[in-house]
Each structure stands twice: as C-alpha cells, then as structure tokens.
C-alpha cells in the first residue's frame, strides 16, 4: 500500500468520522480504509518521514485532548501535538531505531492520562520506510481497575487475618468488660479500685469499638442502591459525626446546590463515607477552623465517552499532611493517631469503590486538606 501523501481539501466528501489524508487508490478502497481507521477504538497517528501528520483519527484527537483542525494533515506533528512534546520526540526518533517498541506506556501531561502504544513503520512499495504509525489506547481506566484489583488483593489478605483476630478477641473483651462491671458492684466502698475499674471498662469498650470497626471493614459491602440525595446523606453525616467526635467551634459550610442530581447509591454507606471524612477533619483541626463543602456535576473520565457523575469536595483548613503521610492514608491500619485504628479512610475508599467512584486528595503541610469524591450518577454498566 502506498503511503498517503499528506493532502487536504480532497474533493471527495469528508469521511463521517476521523481524518485521514487522501490517497491515490480507487475511491471505494480509499473510503473503506478510511472507515476502518476512523472507526477504530484505538487512537491512530501516522507521520511521514519528514515529520508531517499523515493521519490522526478521531479517537486519537480525543485521547490527546487536541481540537481537530481541517488543515492538521500535512502540518508538522510538533505543531499539531504541541501539548505533547514527549510523544513527538518518541515519534521522530523512531526513524532512527532498528527495533520499535512493541508495547510501551506513557503518561500524558497535563491530563495525567496513561496511554499504551505501539509503533510500526509504514513502508512504501519499494520497502523503504516512508513513515511511522503509532497505535495507542487510553489505559487510564484499565490502570484504575488494576490498582483497585491490587488494593482488593491486599485488603483480602490483611482483612482475613484481621477478621480472624478480631473474632477471637471479641469474646474475651466482652468478658473483661462484664467482669470488671461485676467487680465494681462488689467493692462500692473502695474509691481507688472504682477508678481503676472504670478505666478498665472504658479501655475494654474502646478495644471493642476497634474490633467492631475491623469486622465492619472486612465485611463485603452489599449496596442497597436507591435514588440518593448527596445533600441528605451529608446532613446525616454531620449529625452522626457530632456524636462520634468533638467538633468544637469548627464551621461546616455545606454548599451543595439544590439542583444536583440524585445518584444511584447506598444512602447509609454514603453517610458513613462523609462521617469518616468529617471526623478526620475535626480531629485534624482540633476544634477550630472551617470545612467548606461543595458539589457539582462532572463527566467522569472512564477512558470512554465519560459518564455523568457528581463530585463532592471537602476542603478543611487544618494542618494538612506531608507527602509521605498522604501516600498511605487509604491503607488499612495506617494511622498517625495514638488512638486511631487507621480504618477510617480505608472504609471510605471501599465505599467509593463499591459505587464505582473515585477519590483523591490534595494536601500539603500548612495548606489544609482537600478530599474529592466523584460518584457516577447511575450504577456502572460494567462494559470494560
């Protein structure tokens, strides 16, 4: 097959999707090949030996996040992909390689998208290298799923052990609490002993709460999905958090717009999610400060068309976290608190995952912490 010479303004009607340079083959064959490339679910980019764009299909434009222009074909690739100098460099140096990378990955800036790609030489009829083609796919979604899978494996291993221990510890703990209570009643006249027994009971209760939390964490989530209002779940969380942590004078400014769509979600799980986030913020801020809560709709990037999602952000003006803490906060049992069990955010993550959502955080020492939760409006079609 002859390499299409970059050409614009073809007299033939433009293909319905994608853009490809005209070619010298019979019209029907040309159209056929154009349709194959245009309809591909992979991105395809081809350049000629002199670095001009010969082809970039619609999926390619989408993945690169570049607006298509009718005169892109025939332009230097460095100009069309101005935003992606790394990709351009790789393409242009490919001509000097004997062996092209068969399967490689790179992260696109600034979108953070991960793409997997392969290169292939395009040869002319004489077998000479006339261009390079790049076939690529947006792996962001795949990466997320893989990471989730890894987390799930890790949780399964940690969880199994924790559940076994928690189960064993539960009964003796209850025993300690009951017996300390009995003893307290038997020696009402010894104030010192009363004080010690009171402490024993309080400690046993706390240990029991941790055991309950562990068991709750390892229990698989069964979502009771219904049309759920984010604002209602959040209000319930504010009340619940007050019963579990000291809020002091911290102001919670909930700016969740009334017109935010209801989502398919489990109201109780969402309440727990927000409660854990609020408790963390209260604990970090030690009774003083402000938590600003905002929400809006976004297109969730799922590596495909995107789907409608609701994004909720909690910004506190607490102490923030250094990078080495932020990196681990979602790990089960990771805590910086003397009395913490380190399960709060692990549970949050589990709930977000169960809803097929995303969570990330932005934080630095002295700059507070922003937690962003993105939840799809409707339950996943699971078409990946």
Ligand X SMILES: Nc1ncnc2c1ncn2[C@@H]1O[C@H](COP(=O)(O)OP(=O)(O)OP(=O)(O)O)[C@@H](O)[C@H]1O
Taking each helix axis from N to C end, the angle separating 191-218 and 344-354, rounded to the nearest 10 degrees, works out to 30
- Closer by beta carbon to ligand X, 100 or else 238: 238
Does 278 participate in binding ligand X (rule CB under 6 A)? no
Does 344 participate in binding Mg ion (rule CB under 5 A)? yes
Does 329 participate in binding ligand X (rule CB under 6 A)? yes
Does 367 participate in binding ligand X (rule CB under 6 A)? no
Binding test (CB under 6 A) with ligand X, winner from 284, 293, 295, 309: 284
At a CB cut-off of 8 Å and minimum separation 6, what does 251 contact? 289, 290, 291
- Closer by beta carbon to ligand X, 183 or else 354: 354
Angle (nearest 5°) at CA 341 between 150 and 343: 35
Q: What is the DSSP letter of 4?
A: P
Contact range with ligand X by CB under 6 A, out of 112-120, 137-145, 251-259, 274-282:
274-282
Query: 281: closest CA among 236, 329, 352, 324?
Result: 329
> Which of Mg ion, ligand X, none lies near 337, with the C-beta cut-off 5 to 8 A by kind?
ligand X
Cα gap 247→204, rounded to integer Å: 25
Containing 264, the helix (H) or strand (E) segment is: strand 263-265
To ligand X, the closest distance from the beta carbon of 276 in angstroms equals: 6
> Which of ligand X, Mg ion, none lies near 131, with the C-beta cut-off 5 to 8 A by kind?
none
- Closer by beta carbon to Mg ion, 63 or else 281: 281
Binding test (CB under 6 A) with ligand X, winner from 270, 343, 351, 373: 343
Does 289 participate in binding ligand X (rule CB under 6 A)? no
- Closer by beta carbon to ligand X, 269 or else 341: 341
Angle (nearest 5°) at CA 122 between 134 and 135: 15
Number of neighbours of residue 94 by Cβ within 10 angstroms: 19
Query: 353: closest CA among 144, 168, 80, 203?
Result: 144
Q: Strand order of the sheet with strand 358-363?
A: 251-255, 290-300, 307-316, 369-376, 358-363
Count of residues of this chain found to bind Mg ion when the rule CB under 5 A is applied: 2
> Which of Mg ion, ligand X, none lies near 51, with the C-beta cut-off 5 to 8 A by kind?
none
- Phi and psi at residue 352, in whole multiples of 5°? -60, -45
Distances (CA, A) of 54 to 49, 71, 235: 10, 11, 56
> Which of Mg ion, ligand X, none lies near 369, with the C-beta cut-off 5 to 8 A by kind?
ligand X
At a CB cut-off of 8 Å and minimum separation 6, what does 288 contact? 248, 249, 250
Binding test (CB under 6 A) with ligand X, winner from 95, 334, 354, 370: 334
To Mg ion, the closest distance from the beta carbon of 324 in angstroms equals: 18
To Mg ion, the closest distance from the beta carbon of 162 in angstroms equals: 16
> Which of ligand X, Mg ion, none lies near 144, with the C-beta cut-off 5 to 8 A by kind?
none
* In contact, 66 and 81? CB cutoff 8 Å: yes
Cα gap 364→318, rounded to integer Å: 10
Query: Three-state SS for 145?
Result: helix
Does 280 participate in binding Mg ion (rule CB under 5 A)? yes
- What x/- string results for residues 309 through 328 when contact with ligand X is judged by CB under 6 A? -------x-xx-x---x---
> Which of Mg ion, ligand X, none lies near 316, with the C-beta cut-off 5 to 8 A by kind?
ligand X
Binding test (CB under 6 A) with ligand X, winner from 335, 354, 362, 378: 335
Does 280 participate in binding ligand X (rule CB under 6 A)? yes
Residues within the interface to ligand X (CB under 6 A): 276, 280-281, 284, 316, 318-319, 321, 325, 329, 334-337, 340-346, 369
Residues within the interface to Mg ion (CB under 5 A): 280, 344
């Amino acid at each position: 097959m002859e390499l299409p010479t970059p050409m614009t303004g073809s007299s033939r009607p433009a293909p319905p999707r994608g853009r490809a340079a005209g070619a010298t083959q019979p019209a029907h064959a040309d159209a056929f090949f154009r349709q194959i490339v245009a309809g591909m679910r992979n991105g395809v980019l081809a350049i000629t030996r002199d670095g001009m764009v010969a082809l970039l299909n619609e999926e390619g434009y989408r993945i690169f996040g570049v607006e298509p222009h009718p005169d892109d074909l025939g332009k230097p690739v460095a100009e069309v992909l101005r935003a992606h100098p790394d990709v351009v460099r790789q393409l242009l140096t490919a001509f000097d390689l004997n062996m092209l990378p068969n399967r490689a990955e790179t992260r696109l800036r600034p979108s953070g998208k991960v793409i997997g790609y392969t290169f292939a030489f395009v040869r002319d009829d004489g077998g000479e290298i006339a261009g390079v083609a790049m076939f690529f796919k947006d792996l962001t979604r795949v990466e997320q799923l893989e990471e989730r899978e890894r987390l799930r494996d890790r949780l399964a291993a940690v969880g199994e052990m924790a559940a076994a221990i928690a189960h064993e510890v539960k009964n003796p703990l209850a025993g300690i609490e009951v017996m300390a209570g009995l003893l307290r009643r038997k020696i009402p006249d010894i104030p010192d002993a009363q004080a010690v027994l009171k402490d024993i009971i309080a400690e046993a209760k706390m240990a029991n709460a941790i055991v309950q939390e562990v068991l709750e964490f390892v229990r698989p989530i069964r979502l009771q999905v219904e049309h759920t209002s984010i604002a209602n779940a959040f209000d319930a969380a504010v009340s619940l958090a007050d019963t579990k942590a000291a809020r002091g004078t911290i102001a919670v400014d909930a700016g969740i717009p009334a017109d935010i769509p209801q989502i398919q979600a489990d109201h109780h799980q969402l309440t727990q999610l927000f409660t854990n986030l609020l408790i963390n913020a209260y604990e970090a801020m030690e009774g003083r400060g402000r938590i600003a809560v905002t929400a809006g709709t976004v297109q969730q990037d799922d590596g495909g068309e995107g789907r409608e999602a609701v994004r909720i952000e909690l910004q506190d003006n607490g102490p923030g976290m250094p990078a080495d803490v932020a990196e681990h906060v979602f790990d089960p049992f990771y805590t910086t608190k003397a009395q913490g069990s380190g399960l709060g955010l692990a549970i949050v993550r589990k709930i977000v995952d169960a809803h097929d959502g995303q969570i990330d955080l932005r934080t630095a020492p002295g700059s507070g912490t922003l937690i962003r939760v993105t939840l799809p409006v409707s339950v996943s079609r699971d078409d990946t």
